[in-house]
Amino acid sequence: MIRMTAADLDAFLHREFPQIDRQGYRVELVRDRFARVRMAFHADHLRPGGTVSGPSLMSLADTAMYVVVLAMVGEVPLAVTTNLNINFMRRPQPVDVIADARLLKLGKRLAVGDVAMYSDGDPEMVAHATLTYSIPERR
């Protein structure tokens, strides 16, 4: 059952993490165990060679996973990443990057998922990440 909508999550991120505005993130879609987050293209995301940098993609993957976890468990700001593994599969184009995050397992204390990232308009995956999140006990 979804506990936070895309609009709820977008507002939460922009309120709690003001740096999100500079990174150009927008929560586009949330459904059961799935979220889509867009990183708007900005020259700050580029590395030499004119491609979107690895750190930008890692940050997007982490944010997308955080979004899908919160969508399912509700507003638990202290949920944190305990593991992130990423494979860079092809050169991202200098355009928006779309991250599709899905939960593979959602337990009481841990969530495991993966994030597929695509250059906007291109069906070929540019990066794939697997992540584990720790979910704190509710008090």
Residue 125 CA to its chain's centroid (Å): 15
Q: Is residue 70 in some structural domain?
A: yes
Give me the half-sphere count of Cα atoms (radius 13 Å) on the Cβ side of residue 54.
7
Q: Is residue 1 in some structural domain?
A: no
Residue 66, beta-bridge partner list: none
Give me the half-sphere count of Cα atoms (radius 13 Å) on the Cβ side of residue 109.
1
Q: Is residue 63 in some structural domain?
A: yes
C-beta of residue 36 within 8 angstroms of C-beta of residue 96: no
Q: What is the largest CA-CA distance in the chain?
A: 48
For residue 58, give its domain range.
6-134
C-beta of residue 56 within 8 angstroms of C-beta of residue 117: no
pLDDT, one tens digit per residue, over 49-76 is 888 999 999 999 999 999 999 999 999 8
C-beta of residue 32 within 8 angstroms of C-beta of residue 3: no
CB atoms within 10 A of CB 78: 8
Q: What is the pTM of this model?
A: 0.95
What stretches of the chain show up as alpha helix (H) in DSSP? Answer: 6-16, 19-23, 54-73
What is residue 139's predicted lDDT score, i.e. its pLDDT?
A: 63
CB atoms within 10 A of CB 47: 12
Q: Is residue 83 in some structural domain?
A: yes
- Looking at the structure of the chain, the number of domains it has is 1
CATH code (residue 85) = 3.10.129.10
Q: Is residue 121 in some structural domain?
A: yes
Phi and psi at 20, nearest 5°, equal -60, -35
C-beta of residue 19 within 8 angstroms of C-beta of residue 53: no
With a cut of 50, list the residues of the chain below it in pLDDT.
none
Q: Is residue 139 in some structural domain?
A: no
Q: What is the mean pLDDT of the chain?
A: 94
